[in-house]
Structure 1
Amino acid sequence: MALLTLFLMALGSATRVMNAGLSCPDWPLCYGELIPKEQMNLQVFLEWFHRLIASSLGLLMMVLVGATWRWKSQLPKWVPIVTTLCLGLIIFQGVLGGLTVTQLLRFDIVTAHLATGLLFFSSMLVLGSSLMPYQGTGVVARLPWLSTLAGVLIYFQSILGGLVASRWAAHQCLAGAQLCRIMYNHFVGVVPPTLAVLALVFLAWRTPALHPRLRGLGKLALGLLSLQILVGISTLRLHLQVVGLTVAHQAIGASLLGTLVIFSVIAIRDRHQAEYVQPLQTVPLAMTGSLEPS
């Protein structure tokens, strides 16, 4: 579901770049039909397919909620509650999706739509990485705090990027020096999350005996950050004329956020395991009984 959400956000970016956001003038149907065969073209298909994937994701979420409550006795107590909250989040996302059409792509609703999508994407990753098997090494030190900070900064930078996109600020600034402040704020906003990610990668590299999974996630974050900056510069130099680059910029940013979310969850689990195991290892022998044979 997290991967499907990532694909859905990239598809939404393609729909916006191709000016297909209002290709279906009504909602939730498209031209009053489930499948608008007569009006179907590339733009209509993008909008219709985006709605199809979003609806499928909602159905999967309902199945997941039902499954977690059905087998709640075999799961941590928080799992059914969290999945139910995620179902509420995706319902709210669907309402925002409808408002983007009925309110004619109002920029604040479009930005909120992206912010909620990123939040749902992160929630699915938190849920998945919290339940996957993992045995920590107990050497994460301050990595959980740093990765969480980097993830929060990337999240808000992504929202700011969504605001730039929804207001077409980059196009207007390049064409007539309008809305340049929004675009420049986005440029300046790149600095804090970049420094946070670089600090995280450096600290992870300097941490001895760090779990290979965390070390690999750190390398992935560095690669995605480098690629994101490169794609961003290329997109601007080409005046946002290459659709693939613009969509890739959105997808890579979301992937970087997801990588940091997974890193944070695993690092927190690593620390908690270390805090639990250490007291057990220091229990006095008087409390555990003699180890000598009778």
Structure 2
Amino acid sequence: MLIQLAIIGLLFAVFPLALVLISKEQNKFRKLIAVTLFLTFDLIIFGAFTRLTDSGLGCPDWPGCYGEANPFQAHSEIKAAETLLPTGPVTVAKAWIEMIHRYLAMSVGVLIILQMGIAWWKRKSMRHSPWLPTILFVLVGIQGAFGKWTVTMKLQPIIVTIHLMLALTILGMLVWAWQREATQLVLKLPPLLPRLLPFAFVILVLQIALGGWVSTNYAALACHDYPLCNGEVVPQLDFEHAYTLWRELGRTGSGDFLPFSALITIHWVHRSFAWVVFALLASVAWLSRQQAETKQLGNAIFAVLLMQFMTGVATIYFSWPLAIAVLHNAGAALLVLILSVLNYRVRSSAVPVS
């Protein structure tokens, strides 16, 4: 099975590798990073789709599906499970969604291993240290372990949330690796921007973690209206149970059923903190628009913030439609990508205006 899975991972990596080889770009290594970055972004979105369709346990073992490399070979076991419980967690469709997610993850792993190999092989002639691709390789290994635990620990919320945050960490580091291969620009920026950007990035990451906690606890519909929450400005809150991190899905730390007030708390905190994030990132966007080289990034931040607000509210009023929920997740990943680009450019080449 492991050999078959390795072959499938290699096959999934063939097309992006072909794009690198046929590219007219002179710096093939930078092109490889760019293709890996694009595929990682897609993987994060497909991971959100996997989670939102309840397909995380579509194959109840790891790394294969009922000990097989693909759902075709495990079809009889999957159908037997689906017959017993037609709505899941194991169905033919969910098994394929879960395994395609794993195949895409393996292909990203192959591309990152290739980056690390090239970086060490050509370390004397390359502009940068090979340690960043090496750290990425280590992170991919840790991410694979959390992917396994997501399944074996039955979607335990803290494990799934860390799995998401590691994926975004890898995305941000790939952005950093991609940007450092580009020609450096000298920017004249408002003095506040270099100081504000790192803080804004940390706040964004915290908000995404809160959003991941909403998703992994299935608390997206705990408040059925907006801007009020179930008709109240501040509903009854239960922080003790809401933020007990080490517990089973739907359970308290002591093993009892999670009270609904805890789900309301998880939802309310995420939507309330969103206003802090919105104000801070809007300030970053406004400051970025003051310089021609970063104006497009500032405009992009404004656009994605607007999309995040609209999709967040629409998720509530339209009862969590799949397409809008996936788009909301995509917006979070896109903000990480844009702010990673902006952080790199400001930190590596900015000259503050005195």
TM-score when scaled to structure 1?
Answer: 0.86
- What does residue range 21-36 of structure 1 map to in structure 2 within 5 Å? 21-36=56-71
Equivalent position of 2:126 in the other structure: 75
Q: Is the 8 A contact 2:172 2:337 kept in 1?
A: yes
Deviations 1:192-240 (A, max 9, x none): 22111111122233x3xx243x111110011001111111100111121
1:43 aligns with 2:80: no
> Whose RCO is larger (CA < 8 A, sep 6+)?
1
Q: Looking at secondary structure, tell me which structure has more helix per residue.
A: 1
Q: In the alignment, what sits opposite 1:285?
A: none
The more displaced of 214-223 and 127-136 is 127-136
Aligned partners of 2:267 and 2:65: how far apart in 1?
A: 33
Q: Give the structure 2 partner of residue 238 of structure 1.
A: 318
| Corresponding residue SS for 2:94 | helix
Structure 2 SS opposite 1:138: strand
Is 1:224–2:308 an aligned residue pair? no
Cα drift, residue 87 of structure 1: 0.7
Residue 53 in 1 paired to residue 104 in 2?
yes
Whichever of the two has the greater Rg, that structure is 1
Unpaired segments ≥5 residues, structure 2: 1-35, 79-90, 225-229, 231-259
Q: Equivalent residue for 1:260? A: 339
Residue 89 of structure 1 is matched in structure 2 by 139
Secondary structure of the corresponding residue to residue 220 of structure 2: helix
1:142 shift after superposition: 3.0
Correspondence for 1:280: none
1:66 corresponds, among 109, 112, 117, to: 117
Equivalent residue letter for 2:39: L
State the partner residue of 1:290.
none
Between stretches 99-108 and 139-148, larger displacement belongs to 139-148
The one-letter code matched in structure 2 to 1:42 is A
Structure 1 residue 129: deviation in Å? 1.1
Alpha-carbon contact 2:288-2:297 (below 8 Å) kept: no
Distance 1:140 1:132, change over 3 A: farther
Residue 20 (str. 1) matches residue 71 (str. 2): no
The partner residue of 1:170 within 207, 220, 223 is 220
Aligned mates of 1:139, 1:103 — CA distance in 2: 48
Q: Which amino acid aligns with 2:118?
A: A
**Structure 1 residues 11-39: Cα deviation after superposition (integer angstroms, max 9, x where no partner):** 11111111111010110011211112124
What letter matches 2:45 in structure 1?
A
Q: Is the 8 A contact 1:24 1:44 kept in 2?
A: yes
Specify the alignment match of 2:186 in structure 1: 136
Q: For residue 153 of structure 1, what is the aligned residue in structure 2?
A: 203
Deviation of 1:150 (Å): 1.8
> Whole-Å Cα distance in 2 between the matches of residues 146 and 196 of structure 1?
9
1:178 to partner: Cα distance: 4.8
The residue type equivalent to 2:186 in the other structure is G
Alignment partner, residue 203 of structure 1: 287
- Tell me, yes or no, if structure 1 residue 10 matches structure 2 residue 45: yes
Partner Cα distance (2:261, 2:268) in 1: 11
Q: Does 1:269 align with 2:348?
A: yes
Root-mean-square deviation (CA, aligned residues, Å) is 1.8
Q: How big is the shift at 1:44?
A: 1.2
Distance 2:127 2:273 in 1: 38
Quote the offset at 1:77 in angstroms: 4.3
Question: C-alpha distance in 2, partners of 1:70/1:234?
Answer: 50
Kept after mapping to 2: 8 A contact 1:148/1:261? no
Give the AA of the match of 1:7.
D
Tell me which of 266, 272, 277 is aligned to 1:182. 266
CA 166–74 in structure 1, closer or farther in 2 if over 3 Å, else same: same
Equivalent of residue 215 in structure 1, options 292, 295, 298:
295
Q: Give the equivalent residue in structure 2 for 1:193.
A: 277
1:141-176, Cα deviation, whole Å (9 max, x unpaired)? 332222222222111111110001101122355595
The TM-score normalised by the length of structure 2 is: 0.72
Contact preservation (8 Å) 2:312, 2:328: yes
Secondary structure of 1:36 counterpart = coil
- Aligned mates of 1:250, 1:166 — CA distance in 2: 12
Please, which moves more after superposition, 11-20 or 128-137?
A: 128-137
* Structure 1 residue 268: Cα displacement: 1.7
What is the rounded CA distance, in whole Å, between the counterparts of 1:72 and 1:9 in structure 2?
A: 30
- Report the counterpart of residue 242 of structure 2 in structure 1: none
Write the letter of the residue equivalent to 1:52.
Answer: Y
Q: CA deviation at 1:140?
A: 5.0
